Structure 1
Amino acid sequence: MRRGGRGPVTAPAWEVHPGTGPYLLLVHGFLSSRAQWAPNLEALGEVCRPVTLELLGHGRSPAPERDTHYTPDGYTAAMEAIRTELGAESWFVCGYSLGGALTIRYALTHPRRVLGQVFTNSMSAFADAVQMKQWSESGPQSGDAIERGGMPAIERIPVHPKHARRLPADVRDALLRDTKLLDPRGVANTIRHTTPEASVRADVGTNRVPALLACGRFEKRFVPHRRFAEAHMPRLRVVEMDAGHGVNMQDAARFNSAVAEFITTHANGADPTPV
């Protein structure tokens, strides 16, 4: 594994996996880890070189104290540093759930560095002003509760893998093993500083790069957000998966096929469409 940053370790952990072709950055969701991409790496490696990044306080990443590392802008800078270290002029990015909000923001910020972007059902990416205000107001108190309560408090969060019922057993087991690496401070700071600022709802109309939404059709609460994305995000294609929120794990074959086709189609590196 290669880790970014110099001096004190404050940058997310990342790893390049076997493959051929352009790089594809993969960013998991809240309380998850790189283990969630296990059903996808081999198939995607046929058309790209996967790079998994783990959120701060998750998996093998550190949990720095400074809040700026956890902000979406902090993650955008970290992703750009990884691309630079890889020596890639441009690459693909793919984010799951909260990770999707972060990769969309990166693509909006650095469109000429992105060949194409893929994302899954992401409530945080398309949260409206009311939801963002709620997260901003509850974040400090919720974060404090996590730091006081430690692992037992983290395990009570509904999206903790221990509550998952529809994931393949081997993937769920791997995710549960990695939950032991969760850092309460890092999780708390994600709640305080990442989620409340994650929404790109107001900005997706400026998207300039090819985009693919791998949409789990069984997650009914995401339907309004899907409709918003279809109506307001230029260059977006939606492919439905027979899955709920865990798109890439629950319908790995369809996800792998759709993403591989997307990468093959857009790997020529045409300039982003002007806005």
Structure 2
Amino acid sequence: MLVYDIYGNGPPLLLLHGFTGSAEEWLPLRPYWADVRTLIAPDLIGHGRSPAPTDASCYTMERCVSDLLALLDHLGLAQVDVLGYSMGGRVALQLAAAAPKRVQRMILESASPGLATTEERAARSASDHALAEAIERNGLAWFVDYWAALPLFASQASLPTTQRAQLSARRLRGSPHGYANSLRGMGTGQQSSLWEQLSTMLHPTLLISGALDHKFVALNQAMARQLPNASHGIIAHAGHTVHLEQPEAFAQAVRRFL
């Protein structure tokens, strides 16, 4: 069973963190939502306090969805709203596709439905597997520095030094094989593409991207054209991690949508 936090009052909102994240990253956002929603924040497999098995077969996207459905059953929840960031957004989409009646609304932050072509998925899979091996070979400290230096996270340079240190400290509490196997099993190159299924997904959906994250602004614009019931919000002065870089604007956009 996944380890999870539960907090607040009202209809349930499932919070799904990104790669290298945990339930802890949602703590600063609790005050914005906890008076109107019961917040359920699990640590996904290989992350935070949840198990990090050495068996890579435990980390498939299908297994992750199954784990979340088991959590909802354990809590007696027939249906939830879901908010997912990056990897968590990909998981949210897969959950909605696999069990559409269990999801009411979706908020997808800096997320994608996967890669459209077999060639793109093969190239990304090879890249993810190479990074997984590098994590196990070079260790967690090397990986945390490498990950923070990716151009995708360049806008985090505007965060206060203390906040960036806290982010690194959270990542360092992970396990090398947990992160490595997450890449092997749930990386973007591993999951099936949902591009062709978007037109059948009727859930009210809010797509959120940071104005500085040009790749995901374009991706989300394309997704909004395919999803029948979607809106797209672009948050100024933010990159990929909108909820960290502009937490109040992000939280208010989510609250308005809910």
What TM-score do you get using the length of structure 2 for normalisation? 0.88
Tell me which amino acid in the other structure corresponds to 1:262.
F
CA distance in 1, matches of 2:158, 2:198: 31
Task: State, as a whole percentage, how many aligned pairs show the same letter.
Answer: 28
Q: Is the 8 A contact 2:207 2:224 kept in 1?
A: no
2:179 alignment partner in structure 1: 187
Tell me which amino acid in the other structure corresponds to 2:116.
D
CA distance in 2, matches of 1:14, 1:65: 21
For structure 1, the 5+ residue unaligned runs are 5-11, 264-275
Alignment of 1:14 onto 2:8 = no
Cα deviation digits, residues 115-149 of structure 1 (max 9, x gap): 201111125x3433243221222333332221121
Corresponding residue to 2:213 among 210, 219, 224: 219
1:135 alignment partner in structure 2: 124
CA distance in 1, matches of 2:59, 2:162: 30
| Compared CA separation, residues 177 and 159, structure 1 to 2 (3 A) | closer
Pairing 1:145-160 to 2, within 5 Å after superposition: 145-159=134-148
| Compared CA separation, residues 132 and 52, structure 1 to 2 (3 A) | same
1:168 CA drift (Å): 4.9
Cα deviation digits, residues 136-171 of structure 1 (max 9, x gap): 223333322211211133124334799741335554
SS of equivalent to 2:39: strand
Alignment of 1:244 onto 2:239 = yes
CA distance in 1, matches of 2:199, 2:185: 24
Tell me which amino acid in the other structure corresponds to 1:45.
A
1:202 CA drift (Å): 3.3
Cα deviation digits, residues 164-186 of structure 1 (max 9, x gap): 41335554343222222211111
CA distance in 2, matches of 1:112, 1:245: 29
1:68 CA drift (Å): 3.1
For structure 2, the 5+ residue unaligned runs are none
CA distance in 1, matches of 2:21, 2:65: 19
SS of equivalent to 2:232: strand
CA distance in 1, matches of 2:208, 2:127: 30
CA distance in 1, matches of 2:48, 2:245: 21
Q: Could you say which structure has the higher helix fraction?
A: 2
Two-structure CA RMSD over aligned residues (Å): 2.2
| Compared CA separation, residues 67 and 160, structure 1 to 2 (3 A) | farther
1:270 alignment partner in structure 2: none
- Say how many residue pairs are matched: 251
Pairing 1:256-271 to 2, within 5 Å after superposition: 256-263=251-258
CA distance in 2, matches of 1:160, 1:63: 25
Q: Is the 8 A contact 1:39 1:248 kept in 2?
A: no
Pairing 1:26-45 to 2, within 5 Å after superposition: 26-45=15-34
CA distance in 2, matches of 1:13, 1:160: 29
Tell me which amino acid in the other structure corresponds to 2:9.
T
2:42 alignment partner in structure 1: 53
Q: Is the 8 A contact 2:46 2:179 kept in 1?
A: yes
CA distance in 1, matches of 2:162, 2:11: 28
CA distance in 1, matches of 2:3, 2:196: 29
